[in-house]
Amino acid sequence: MAKKNKTTIKDIANVLNISAAAVSKALHNDDRISEKTKIAVRQVAKNLNYQPNHLASALRSGKSNLVGVIVPKTNSNFFSATIHNIEEVLNDKGYNIIITQSNESFEKECKNIDALLYTQVDGIIASMANETVDLAFYEKIKDAGIPLITFDRGENDLNVDYIGIDDYNSSHVIVDHLVTQGCKRIAHIGGFKRTRIYNNRMRGYIDALKKHNLPIEEELLTESNLTIVEGRAKMLKLLALENRPDAVYVAGDYAALGALQVLNEKGINIPNEIALVGFGDEPFAKMVTPTMTSVNQHSYKIGKIAAETFLNYTNKKKIKQSLNKIIIEAELIIRESSLKKK
């Protein structure tokens, strides 16, 4: 089947016997065009199924009213809620968003950045993939002269706006809580420490142990991609230790869920034998048995502030990117998995 040619402004102009410039002005509600002509143009455009070429319009005007959003995954409650709040704020100001996900792949993330730059987005709000170490593609965004705002996962070396929680202090809050429950041998299933947030969570965990004069043992500290499968595997290794932990702090709720599954399957009492704390406060945390203690990252605030930070640049004729770090205190939601019965 032959491909149908796309309707253009010229096609509308030919039907009405007016200039293409007049059609363009009518479609943009220009005051110099009569209301009668505007109505006629809109009707013909509808009849011919005319779709505006937003890319061409962006190239002409230098503004697309589109903002790119890059996240590692959309099936996480934290990222989906953050996206929702970014969109809510930006839609109210006449912007639409284009959502891309890296699936934690550096290669896919680079392709997403190229696609968004080609689309002439007015700005990019991003949270980096676990694999991302080379920041050259993010520097391309800055070189393009459009605002780059990072959230949750962002690197200080970029010198751009960042919004996130205090990951280091969050680990202190978690360890403090577990110590009050009588835990003395606390393990940590962390993310890869090459990623800033997981490095901060790991440093916070180590320093909190030192504060409480608790042992820092290599066998209790592990890195992972924080999936359910990895959570299961890491929990099985901890259980195989001659001197197993009495608490496990997991840097992500999905891996914590995997750990919880193993503990339940092995008939280990949670939290009296082994207490468990996750991170992210996914919806399932309050649905599993036992309900799971976790950290609320305040996605509503992060999404809202990220969008507002972008909007701060829209009134400036020249974009001068700045390092503006906004750190939000996280909240530990204590549930059954860590609350020992006295």
- Place 53 in a pLDDT band, splitting at 50, 70 and 90: low
82 with 155, same domain: the answer is yes
Q: Kindly give the interhelix angle for 253-265 and 228-239, rounded to the nearest 10 degrees.
A: 50
Phi first, then psi: give them for residue 162, nearest 5 degrees. Answer: -140, 135
69 with 130, same domain: the answer is yes
What percent of the chain has a predicted confidence (pLDDT) above 90? Answer: 63
Query: What's the total number of domains in the chain?
Result: 3
92 with 154, same domain: the answer is yes
**Dihedral (CA of 157, 159, 162, 165) sign:** positive
- Place 314 in a pLDDT band, splitting at 50, 70 and 90: confident
**Mean pLDDT to the nearest integer, 314-319:** 64
- In-domain check, residue 107: yes
**126, HSE (Cβ side, Cα atoms, 13 Å):** 30
47 with 85, same domain: the answer is no
Residue 55 in this model has a pLDDT that exceeds 70: no
- In-domain check, residue 337: no
- Place 2 in a pLDDT band, splitting at 50, 70 and 90: very low
Six-digit token string for 340? 């020992």
Q: Which residue has the tokens 């990252």?
A: 297
The answer to whether the pTM exceeds 0.95 is no
Distance CA 285, CA 335 (A): 9
Name 2's Cβ contacts closer than 8 Å, sequence gap at least 6. none
pLDDT at 54: 60
159 with 305, same domain: the answer is yes
208 with 325, same domain: the answer is no
pLDDT at 296: 95
66-88 pLDDT tens trace:
999 999 988 888 999 999 999 99
260 with 159, same domain: the answer is no
94 with 112, same domain: the answer is yes
191 with 157, same domain: the answer is no
Residue 289 in this model has a pLDDT that exceeds 90: yes
Write out 197-252 in H/E/C secondary structure. Answer: HHHHHHHHHHHHHHHCCCCCCHHHEEECCCCHHHHHHHHHHHHCCCCCCCEEEECC
pLDDT at 130: 82
Residue 318 in this model has a pLDDT that exceeds 50: yes
Specify the CATH number for the domain of residue 288. Answer: 3.40.50.2300
pLDDT at 61: 52
- In-domain check, residue 334: no
- In-domain check, residue 2: no
152 with 224, same domain: the answer is no
- pLDDT greater at residue 257 or residue 52: 257
Distance CA 250, CA 186 (A): 10
- In-domain check, residue 3: no
- In-domain check, residue 212: yes
Residue 187 in this model has a pLDDT that exceeds 50: yes
Do strands 96-101 and 148-151 pair parallel, antiparallel, or not at all (unpaired)?
A: unpaired
- In-domain check, residue 249: yes
268 with 307, same domain: the answer is no
Six-digit token string for 206? 């180590």
117 with 99, same domain: the answer is yes
Q: Which residue has the tokens 């299933």?
A: 189
Distance CA 237, CA 220 (A): 10
101-143 pLDDT tens trace:
999 899 999 999 999 998 889 999 999 988 888 888 889 998 8
Residue 333, beta-bridge partner list:
294
Domain that holds residue 69: 65-165+299-329
- In-domain check, residue 58: no
